Structure 1
Amino acid sequence: MKVTWRKEHLDVILVPASLFVMFGYHIFLLYRYKRYEHRTVIGHENHCKRVWVERMLKIQAVDRSIAVSVISSNLSAATTLSSICIVLSSLIGAWVGSNSRNIFKSSMIYGDTSESIISLKYVCLLACLIAAFASFFHSARCYVHACFLISMPDVNIPVEIIQKPVIQGSTFWAIGVRALHFAATFLFWVFGPIPMFASSVITAVLLHTLDKTNKPLHQFQPKQSNNLLKKAGQEINAANRVIEPQA
C-alpha cells in the first residue's frame, strides 16, 4: 500500500520536533543550573542578589529606601508583563471566537489548516500566555513580600528569610520569560510548521548563547578604605575606654 505525502503530514513531524528542541534545551538548562550553577547566567544573578540582600541588611532600616526602590522596580516590571499577558490572552480569546482566523487557512501556509489544528494552535498559544501571566503574578507577590521584610525596623531578621522571596521572585520571572518564548514558538506555528521549527531552533541556539557563562562568581568584598576607617574607629573607642577610668 503506497502512502501519499500530504502537507498535513508536516505538522506531525515538525511540531513534535520543535517541542523536543525547546523542552530538551530547558531540561538541559535545568540540569546545568542544578549541577553547575556558577556556569549559568541565572546562577550568577541569584548569587549577586543573595549578596545584595546580605549587604542591605547591614544598614539601618531607615536607610534601606534604595533597597525598597530596587525591589519595587522589579515589582513594577512583573506587574506590567503580567498585565500584558492577560490582555493578549483576552485578545486571542476574542480572535478565536471571531471569523477573522479564516485568513490563516490560506494556501500559502504549507501545513495542516483544518479547523481542529487551528483551534489547537490558539489553545497552545493561550496556555503559554496564561502560564506567563501566572508566573509574573507570583513574581510580583514574592517581591511585595520581600519589600515588607527588608523595610521592617528594629528587628533581627535572618538573611535567608529575605533572600528566599527575592530568589523566588527572580525564579518566577525567569519562568514567565521562558513561557513567552514558548508562546512565540506557537505563534509561528500559526503560519505553518516550518516557521515554528525554524523559530524553535533559532530560539534554542540564542538562549544557549545567552544562558551560559564561564566567568567565576565574583566575591563581593567590602572596600579596603571602609575596613581601615572601621578599624580606626574601633581603636579610638578602645583608647577612650582606657582613658575614661583614669580620668
Structure 2
Amino acid sequence: MQEKELDYILVPLGLVFLGVYHTWLLLTVLFYPTKTVIGTNAQTTHRWAVNMMNDPAANGVLAVQTIRNSMMASTVLATAAISLSALISVYISSSSNVDSISSELVYGNKTDIISSIKYFTILLCFLLAFLCNVQCIRYNAHVSFLITLHGSKSSSQSIEYVARNLNRGSFFWSLGLRAFYFSFPLFLWVFGPIPMFVCCCTLSVVLYFLDTTTSFTRDLHKLSVKDYTKVKDVESGGQT
C-alpha cells in the first residue's frame, strides 16, 4: 500500500468500526436495555426518582445532593472540554510547522488538507462534549426543583416527567463522555492513520466491555427489581 493511500483507507475503516459498534449499541439499548450499562442505569435512575418522590421529607436532601454532585461532575467535564478547545485553537494558530514536524514521526502522515480536517474533528469532538454536558447540567438543575414534590399528591404523569428528565440528563452525560472517547483516535490521527486505526479497533473492544453488562450485573439488577417490588407490596399492604 502506498503512503498516500493510508489516510483514504485506514481512517474510514476505523470510523466504520466505531460506527458499526455504536449502531449495535443503540439498537441494544432500545430493544434490550438490560444487556447494556446505559439501559440498566436508566431503569435504576427511574426507580430512584420514584422512590425519592414518594417520601420527599426523608429523601429530599439526599436527592438534591445527589443531583448536585452530578451537576458538579458535568461542570468539570464541560470546563475541560471548552478549555481544550481553546487550547487547540491557540496551538494551531501559533504553530505553523506542526504538520511538518508530525509528518516525520510516523509513516503515512502526509501534510496536506487532511491536517486541517484532523484538528477540526478534534475541536468538534470537544465542542460536542461541552454542549452535551451543558445540557446535562440544564436537565439536572430543572429536576432539582421538582424532585422534592410529593409523589402521592401529584399525578403519575408528574413523576414520569421528573424521571424522564433525569434520564435525559444522564443520556447527555453519556454522550458527552462518548465525545471524549472519540477524541482519542482523532488525537492519534495527528501522528498518522496507522495509530488512529489501531486506536479505533482497540477502543471498540474496550467500550464493548464497558457498555455491556455481565451475567452477575444482570442478576444483581433483577434482584434489586424484585426487592423493590416486595417493598412496594409491603408498603401497600400496610397502608391498606
Pairwise TM-score range, normalised by the shorter structure = 0.7 to 0.9
**Structure 1 pair 202–63 and aligned structure 2 pair: CA distance change class (3 A):** closer
Q: Say whether 1:22 aligns with 2:39.
A: no
Separation in structure 1 between the aligned mates of residue 162 and residue 234 of structure 2, nearest angstrom = 26
> Match for residue 172 of structure 2?
172
How high is the TM-score relative to the length of structure 1? 0.84
How big is the shift at 1:178? 1.0
Q: Do the aligned partners of residues 126 and 161 (structure 1) sit closer, same or farther apart at CA in structure 2, a change above 3 Å counting? A: same
- Per-residue CA deviation, residues 160-179 of structure 1 (Å, 9 max, x unaligned), is 01101110000001111111
Q: Kindly tell me: are residues 193 and 102 of structure 1, through their superposed partners in 2, closer, same or farther at Cα, counting changes over 3 Å?
A: closer
Does residue 206 in structure 1 map to residue 206 in structure 2?
yes
Q: Alpha-carbon deviation of 1:54? A: 0.8
Unaligned runs of 5+ in 2: none
TM-score, with structure 2 as normaliser: 0.87
> Relative to 1, partners in 2 of residues 1:104 and 1:19: Cα closer, same or farther, differing over 3 Å?
farther
What residue in structure 1 maps to residue 39 of structure 2?
43
Q: How far off its partner does 1:222 sit?
A: 6.7
The question of whether the paired residues in 2 share the 8 Å contact of 1:121 and 1:189 is answered with: yes
2:13–2:197 CA contact under 8 A, matched in 1: yes
Q: Give % identity.
A: 32
Q: Is 1:221 aligned with 2:228?
A: yes
Alpha-carbon distance between aligned partners in 1 of 2:173 and 2:161, rounded to the nearest angstrom:
19
One-letter amino acid of the structure 2 residue matched with residue 72 of structure 1: R
Larger CA Rg, structure 1 vs 2: 1
CA RMSD of aligned residues (A): 2.3
List runs of 5+ in structure 1 lacking aligned partners: 236-247
Distance 2:148 2:56 in 1: 9
SS in 1 for 2:228: coil
Aligned residue identity for 1:126: L
Separation of aligned partners in 2, 1:194 and 1:102: 16
Partner residue of 1:97?
Answer: 93
Q: Is the 8 A contact 1:131 1:179 kept in 2?
A: yes
Take 2:56 and 2:40, find their aligned partners in 1: how far apart are those partners?
27
Q: Distance in 2 between matches of 1:105 and 1:47?
A: 46
Q: Give 3-state SS (helix, strand or coil) of 1:64's partner.
A: helix
* 1:119 Cα deviation after fit: 1.3
How far apart are the structure 2 equivalents of 1:185 and 1:194?
10
Distance 1:189 1:52, change over 3 A: same
With over 3 angstroms needed to count, the CA separation of the structure-2 counterparts of 1:116 and 1:144, relative to structure 1, is: same
C-alpha contact 2:56 2:148 (8 A) present in aligned 1: no
Count of residue correspondences: 227
1:105/1:207 Cα in 2 relative to 1: closer, same or farther (>3 Å)? closer
Q: Is the 8 A contact 2:146 2:162 kept in 1?
A: yes
2:143 corresponds to 1:156: no
- Determine helix, strand or coil for the equivalent of 2:3: coil
